[in-house]
Amino acid sequence: MKKYTNIKDISNLKETIREAILLKMDPFEFQDLGKNKTLVMLFFNSSLRTRLSTEKAAKNLGMNVMILNVNDAWNLEFEDGTIMNANTSEHIKEAAQVISQYADIIAVRAFPSLTDKQKDESEFLLQSFIKYATVPIVNMESATAHPLQALADAITITELTEKANPKVVLSWAPHPKALPQAVANSFVEMMQNMDVDLTITHPEGYELSKEITKNTAINYKQEEALKNADFVYVKNWSSYNDYGKVLSQDKSWMMTKEKLGAAKFMHCLPVRRNVVVEDAVLDSESSVVIKQANNRTFAAQMVLKQILEDL
Amino acid sequence: MKKYTNIKDISNLKETIREAILLKMDPFEFQDLGKNKTLVMLFFNSSLRTRLSTEKAAKNLGMNVMILNVNDAWNLEFEDGTIMNANTSEHIKEAAQVISQYADIIAVRAFPSLTDKQKDESEFLLQSFIKYATVPIVNMESATAHPLQALADAITITELTEKANPKVVLSWAPHPKALPQAVANSFVEMMQNMDVDLTITHPEGYELSKEITKNTAINYKQEEALKNADFVYVKNWSSYNDYGKVLSQDKSWMMTKEKLGAAKFMHCLPVRRNVVVEDAVLDSESSVVIKQANNRTFAAQMVLKQILEDL
Amino acid sequence: MKKYTNIKDISNLKETIREAILLKMDPFEFQDLGKNKTLVMLFFNSSLRTRLSTEKAAKNLGMNVMILNVNDAWNLEFEDGTIMNANTSEHIKEAAQVISQYADIIAVRAFPSLTDKQKDESEFLLQSFIKYATVPIVNMESATAHPLQALADAITITELTEKANPKVVLSWAPHPKALPQAVANSFVEMMQNMDVDLTITHPEGYELSKEITKNTAINYKQEEALKNADFVYVKNWSSYNDYGKVLSQDKSWMMTKEKLGAAKFMHCLPVRRNVVVEDAVLDSESSVVIKQANNRTFAAQMVLKQILEDL
């Protein structure tokens, strides 16, 4: 693997998931692979799960890890040809090349603005790192994608699936703040590549990018969409069409035990209790969110392992 | 040891102190014990000594360490049943379970509010971690206790004691800010479990919780209390009864070389010079504060070692 | 080496540079040297390159690294005899002694005020660490010096020099903010110790300290100074005489491809494009700034290695 910025970077998804599950039995098996290799983790935004699980994954592989909260250092310039006499003090061209010399792999987290759709969609920050860095880049959640989360989700569903072609529903949930579409996007793309029957349900106006959803079924009636679901992935996102807007906080979209039925409940976390999902779901056996979070380590470890093998 | 949140978690104090002193001669002796084990350190408040000494202790034992300033990530919710549509974005139930999967031991620092006595006394944050985490918890200073400091103090007194049953005095000192009672509480509890003669001295109104002091002698006359002391532990704390209030900044309570006499001077640091204690004491041979700070490493190392042995 | 706070601490510069270049071929050769040794890195100011390269260097040598952003912890007091009842909560006397017990080497970064010349020139912070710490101190950029950068620069020039006694020009550049003289100072001192022909060029009023420049040629006409240069080191600094002031933002001092001619372009980074230097220079083969940044690792590694050998 030469980079992991999009789920398409995984060449053999089934094999990768199978290996991740095996890895859980012996997380330190490939500890020599990362010896004297360094992962630099760059955070333009805060992180708990992604940070800890990716650091853990790297250390499981024997890597050294160096972490930098970029905003504590300085503001980077991403535009070409700018006269840098204002707020930015270093150009991504230099920053990416320089950090590449201290790193064997660079992992980057940078959320979207949710105000400038075109800029967010261009993934200018991540793409700039890909363009100027001379080592592989790992996406720890970018403007439009969260492929490490999606891989963890795929591992979780694979581990828990008891039948062929399970029904998976991505169900929008209310939230007081405007959130990115990244998790939803990557989940949809991942499911499209697995042997599952995917349905998306959300209020009108919350359609994800057509380039993501393609032919995936969209049903505006949540109850109908949830019928006979095996896995229900609940997530809020802000509007894509009316970009970054909170169009609805309709509480009736909150996931409840009754709506969930016999399905497993999934969420990437952090989750707002009794807003996104009621306590009764999270505190029940139906919830697999803790398992999902655990699989973040092994998703990251598989990605780092495949990159290390190709260095 | 299954956790270390209170000095009562040490089952054999004398033996633990003896081992800590031996450990100082060969800090890397148990380096295999922590191999492939991870300590996650969570800071809700800033830290210098505790952070560096605990990290050092873990690495001396061969552990991996991951550090997170929690407030940089997000605000945790601790109440049950809340509709989380305001400032908190993740419930401790999820956070503690998730982090437990990335950690073999979790260490937590979280100071009291000093405004809500009942909430502070409930140790809601630490207790929530104990309740929901699935790995052992270490207290790096909580609302009401600082047991790692107390163990370091016990090691220091043991190392320096030249006679049976030395006289130890805990002497309140003035301070411009309202400080927690945690250090004083844990010191008192620790001394009650050692072969020492403990006296507490402070202005009226600064009584610590009776549940802590029990039958320990309290003398409001500092000079009298200090007579024939072998060790004088100086520390400011805010009022417990008039909770969190600074009732006095009476400079006459500052420790001086004259008052100290032949006793050893102890303080957990950081210490405000010429407010809590005069320069002449800190700059003399009587001060053992640097030794105390060094013993923080070995106190933490003994605690982590005993926990690792019981994993 | 007993400390590295000034380039004068290097006893054999030529040999050190030669070794650094050899080290690049096998960065992990001395990995046993740092086993069970700890570098504590203290940041009073933000850092990207210095932080990552120094951490990397220490890990290449097998050291443990602990990093502390000091301002996140608390304000240190540096004055003797102060009654500490205001903003400072710990005296450098305690802090330096305490941290020395957790560290085998302490590295410190602390910028000048650029307002109090006498205080900056006294290097009170760095000198206080040297005075009170009981382990070697490494300067990661202080008020008046950046010796790790200067060593990296010396390595870079040595690697790229194709003739005896190359002409090196330090050329001031405009910048919107008041910057320290530290990089320029250490570069000048380093060049004075190498077999190069050094010229400094800047607008009048930007003279560096005479104690630094000594007999080095100063030419106020940039074009004249640059003639036949082999290496041009471009850097902004604020006025030393009119201390900390930005006297000029004269754009004609920006480095251009035309002015640079056949010389190599050097800069310590971060660099403001099209303010300090035009894109055409940075994007050309003449720029060696990325190589310089890479050499930061090996400069730090040589310094840490020589200190470890003398522990």
Instruction: Tell me the shortest Cα–Cα distance from C290 to chain A, in angstroms.
Output: 6
Tokens 């009048």 — which residue?
Answer: C204
CA pair distance A49, A136, nearest whole angstrom: 22
CA pair distance B150, B138, nearest whole angstrom: 13
Chain-chain contact of B74 with A297 (C-beta, under 8 angstroms): no
The residue-averaged pLDDT of C157-169 equals 96
CA pair distance B306, B300, nearest whole angstrom: 10
Residues A146-164: b if buried by 16+ CB within 10 A, e if exposed? bbbbbbbbbbbbbeebeee
CA pair distance C278, C85, nearest whole angstrom: 51
Contacts of A270 in chain B (CB under 8 A): 74, 89-90, 94-95
Contacts of C91 in chain B (CB under 8 A): 271, 273
Contacts of B99 in chain A (CB under 8 A): 48, 52
Interface of B with C (CB under 8 A): 27-28, 31, 46-49, 51-53, 55-56, 59-60, 69, 176, 269-275, 279, 282-283, 289-290, 293-294, 297
The residue-averaged pLDDT of C227-250 equals 98
For chain A, list residues with pLDDT below 50: none
Proportion of chain C above pLDDT 90, given as a percent: 97
Q: Are B174 and B249 in contact (CB under 8 A)?
A: yes
Residues C256-273: b if buried by 16+ CB within 10 A, e if exposed? ebebbeebbbbbbbbbbb
CA pair distance A66, B210, nearest whole angstrom: 47
pLDDT in tens, chain B (311 residues): 999 999 999 999 999 999 999 999 999 999 999 999 999 999 999 899 999 999 999 999 999 999 999 876 678 999 999 999 999 999 999 999 999 999 999 999 999 999 999 999 999 999 999 999 999 999 999 999 999 999 999 999 999 998 999 999 999 999 999 999 999 999 999 999 999 999 999 999 999 999 999 999 999 999 999 999 999 999 999 999 999 999 999 999 999 999 999 999 999 999 999 999 999 999 999 999 999 999 999 999 999 999 999 99
Closest residue in chain A to residue C69, using alpha carbons only: A72
Task: Give the pLDDT score at B70.
Answer: 87
| Identity of the residue in C66, C88, C97 whose CB atom sits nearest the CB atom of B52 | C66
Task: Give the pLDDT score at B80.
Answer: 94
Q: β-strands B231-235, B264-266: how paired?
A: parallel
Q: In the structure encoding, which two tokens stand for residue C106, read together?
A: 């302490």
Contacts of B102 in chain A (CB under 8 A): 52-53, 56, 297
- pLDDT band, very low/low/confident/very high, at C236 (cuts 50, 70, 90): very high
| Identity of the residue in C46, C273, C297 whose CB atom sits nearest the CB atom of A73 | C46
Tokens 């001092």 — which residue?
Answer: C253
Instruction: Determine if residue A50 is labeled as part of a ligand binding site.
Output: yes
CA pair distance A62, A40, nearest whole angstrom: 14
Instruction: Determine if residue C202 is labeled as part of a ligand binding site.
Output: no
Q: In the structure encoding, which two tokens stand for residue C63, read together?
A: 């050291």
Backbone angles phi, psi at C201, to 5 degrees: -135, 135
Tell me the CA distances in angstroms from B240 to A73, B112, B146, C120, C311, one per residue in order.
41, 12, 16, 44, 48
Task: Give the pLDDT score at C70.
Answer: 87
Longest dimension (CA), chain C: 61
Helix/strand/coil (H, E, C) string of chain C?
A: CCCECCHHHCCCHHHHHHHHHHHCCCCCCCCCCCCCCEEEEEECCCCCHHHHHHHHHHHHCCCEEEEEEHHHHCCEECCCCCCCCCCCCEEHHHHHHHHHHHCCEEEEECCCCCCCHHHHHCCHHHHHHHHHCCCCEEECCCCCCCHHHHHHHHHHHHHHCCCCCCEEEEEECCCCCCCCCHHHHHHHHHHHCCCCEEEEECCCCCCCCHHHHCCCEEECCHHHHHCCCCEEEEECCCCCCCCCCCCCCCHHHCECHHHHCCCEEECCCCCCECCCECHHHHCCCCECHHHHHHHHHHHHHHHHHHHHHHC
| Identity of the residue in A66, A73, A80 whose CB atom sits nearest the CB atom of C55 | A66
Report whether pLDDT(C284) > 80: yes
- pLDDT band, very low/low/confident/very high, at C74 (cuts 50, 70, 90): confident
Q: What is the DSSP letter of A261?
A: T
Tell me the CA distances in angstroms from B236 to B189, C14, C85, one per residue in order.
17, 55, 13
Kindly report the average pLDDT of chain C as a whole number.
97
Cα A290 to the center of its chain, rounded Å = 16
CA pair distance B275, B278, nearest whole angstrom: 7
Select from B245, B256, B246 the least CA-distant residue to B223: B256
Residue type at C16 in one-letter notation: T
Contacts of C39 in chain B (CB under 8 A): none
B252 Cβ neighbours under 8 A, 6+ residues apart: B222
Neighbours, chain B (3 or more CB pairs < 8 A): A, C
Tell me the CA distances in angstroms from C200 to B250, C32, C225, one per residue in order.
59, 42, 7
Chain-chain contact of A55 with B66 (C-beta, under 8 angstroms): yes
Longest dimension (CA), chain A: 61
Q: How many CB atoms lie within 10 A of CB B10?
A: 22
Q: Are B282 and B271 in contact (CB under 8 A)?
A: yes
- Residue pairs spanning A and B at CB distance below 8 A: 81
Backbone angles phi, psi at B297, to 5 degrees: -60, -45
Closest residue in chain B to residue C73, using alpha carbons only: B46
Instruction: Tell me the shortest Cα–Cα distance from A62 to chain C, in angstroms.
Output: 13
Interval B275-307: pLDDT, tens: 999 999 999 999 999 999 999 999 999 999 999
The DSSP result for B55-77, as a single string, is HHHHHHTT-EEEEEEHHHH-PEE
Residue C59's Cβ-count burial label (10 Å; 0-12, 13-18, 19+) is: buried
Q: Are B170 and B206 in contact (CB under 8 A)?
A: no
Instruction: Determine if residue C146 is labeled as part of a ligand binding site.
Output: yes
CA pair distance B214, B208, nearest whole angstrom: 10
Instruction: Tell me the shortest Cα–Cα distance from A82 to chain C, in angstroms.
Output: 7
Any alpha helices (H) in B249-288, and if so which ranges?
257-260, 279-282
Q: What is the DSSP letter of A36?
A: T
Instruction: Tell me the shortest Cα–Cα distance from A234 to chain C, in angstroms.
Output: 37
CA pair distance C205, C242, nearest whole angstrom: 7
Residue B220's Cβ-count burial label (10 Å; 0-12, 13-18, 19+) is: middle
Any alpha helices (H) in chain A, and if so which ranges?
13-23, 49-60, 70-73, 92-102, 117-122, 124-132, 147-160, 182-192, 210-213, 222-226, 257-260, 279-282, 289-310
Q: How many CB atoms lie within 10 A of CB A65?
A: 21
Neighbours, chain C (3 or more CB pairs < 8 A): A, B
Whether the pTM exceeds 0.90: the reply is yes
Any alpha helices (H) in A41-146, and if so which ranges?
49-60, 70-73, 92-102, 117-122, 124-132
Q: Are C40 and C102 in contact (CB under 8 A)?
A: yes
Instruction: Determine if residue C18 is labeled as part of a ligand binding site.
Output: no
Q: To which H or E segment does residue A105 belong?
A: strand A105-109
Q: In the structure encoding, which two tokens stand for residue A173, read together?
A: 């949930």
Identify from C38, C88, C89, C106 which residue to disrupt to test chain B contact, counting B C-beta atoms within 10 A and taking the largest count: C89
Task: Give the pLDDT score at A150.
Answer: 98
Q: In the structure encoding, which two tokens stand for residue B261, read together?
A: 């006499």
C206 Cβ neighbours under 8 A, 6+ residues apart: C172, C237, C239, C240, C247, C248
Q: Are A119 and A113 in contact (CB under 8 A)?
A: yes
| Identity of the residue in C83, C89, C95 whose CB atom sits nearest the CB atom of B274 | C83
Task: Give the pLDDT score at B166.
Answer: 98
CA pair distance C182, C114, nearest whole angstrom: 11
Contacts of A91 in chain C (CB under 8 A): 271, 273
| Identity of the residue in C51, C56, C272 whose CB atom sits nearest the CB atom of A38 | C56
Task: Outline where DSSP puts E strands in B148-293.
Answer: 167-172, 197-201, 217-219, 231-235, 264-266
Residue type at B227 in one-letter notation: K
Helix (H, G, I), strand (E, B) or coil at B172: strand
Annotated binding-site residues of B for N(2)-succinyl-L-ornithine read 141, 175, 235, 272
Contacts of C52 in chain A (CB under 8 A): 40, 66, 68, 99, 102
